[in-house]
Amino acid sequence: MVTKKAPDFIKENAARFRLTMNVLEAQYEKLSTVLQRNYPLIGILLGSVLMCISLGPYSSWDSQLEFTAASGVVKWGLPYVTFGETINMQPLGFYVEAFFLKTLGTSYEIAVGVSTLFGVGCVFLLSKIGKVLYGRRTGLFAAALFALTPWKIIMSRVVLVDVQCLFLSLSFLLVGIQAMQKNSLRLMSLSGILFGFALLTKLFAVFMMIPLALFYIHSRPKNTGRVLAGIALFFLAAFLIQYVWYVPISGRGLLSVFSHDDFESVSPSWF
């Protein structure tokens, strides 16, 4: 057996050590650059987290019902309130909550943490939408303003799928705007997928179509054929997601997407 001489061994390890240090130094510089460029947004996100953690968690009849449905996914694989009785809501949010509950423990506090996570994600997405449309400063201002909104703070500390729906709605709005700016069919299809997921969380996601349509009108695209192809891809992706859940998975039928009571229970305080 051939053995390396001690000086050769030392030189080889010294070279490896220098290479490792160079890699770590390069990674540190990249991280430092990212922090320097984004420290205002990072501060807003951290402030949002700290503000939310200092409050709550809150609870209501609706939040306890939705927590029960998420726990049903953990127990039986479907959002049952009691075994065999599916909650009359879109299912995706309960599966997302169930993933965290199964991983970290089935407790109401864990489910509240999921809402807080998505609430912070909404702040981040608003900063990106503002930056894409009006510039970095406007994006930061929008993010800071939304982070202090009482509705956002409360919804981030209660177990309701509304904040997940908002996160997905802002996601498909952001990607849809970028798709129109870049005239990208791939991004338009991705926006439709996110729209489909948002609808599968709560039907209120349809309202985010209004700002997306207004941006489309404002941008005045000229390539009619490509625009029609993008619109077709957008709605086809959203349709397929609804079809997969309501027909082969749940067996409830595609028309069941309209059977949920999202728009039937109207609070008098809205008027």
Tens of pLDDT, residue by residue over 99-126, are 999 999 889 999 999 999 999 999 999 9
> Model confidence at 165, in pLDDT bands (50, 70, 90)?
very high
* Ramachandran angles phi, psi of 153, nearest 5°: -65, -45
Return the pLDDT at 270.
Answer: 35
Q: How many residues are there in the chain?
A: 271
Q: How far apart are CA 229 and CA 209, in angstroms?
A: 17
Domain edges within the chain? 39-160, 161-258
Q: What is the dihedral of CA 214, 215, 217, 218, to 10 degrees?
A: 120
Q: What is the dihedral of CA 257, 262, 264, 265, to 10 degrees?
A: 160
Token pair belonging to 60: 């209501």
CB 198 within 8 A of CB 205: yes
> Model confidence at 140, in pLDDT bands (50, 70, 90)?
very high
Average the pLDDT over 64-70 and give the result.
92
Tens of pLDDT, residue by residue over 175-199, are 999 998 888 899 999 999 999 999 9
DSSP letters of 47-104? HHHHHHHTS-----HHHHHHHHHHHHHHHHSS-EEETTEE-SS-SHHHHHHHHHHHHH
Return the pLDDT at 44.
Answer: 86
Average the pLDDT over 80-104 and give the result.
89
Higher pLDDT, 44 or 9: 44
> Model confidence at 31, in pLDDT bands (50, 70, 90)?
low
Q: How far is CA 267 from CA 63, 65, 155, 263, 271, in A?
A: 16, 18, 17, 10, 8
**21-30, 232-241, 246-255: range with lowest mean pLDDT:** 21-30
> Model confidence at 268, in pLDDT bands (50, 70, 90)?
very low
- Residue 34 above 70 pLDDT? no
> Model confidence at 271, in pLDDT bands (50, 70, 90)?
very low
- Residue 29 above 70 pLDDT? no
Return the pLDDT at 51.
Answer: 85
**66-70, 117-121, 154-158, 224-228: range with lowest mean pLDDT:** 224-228
Token pair belonging to 97: 């909550």
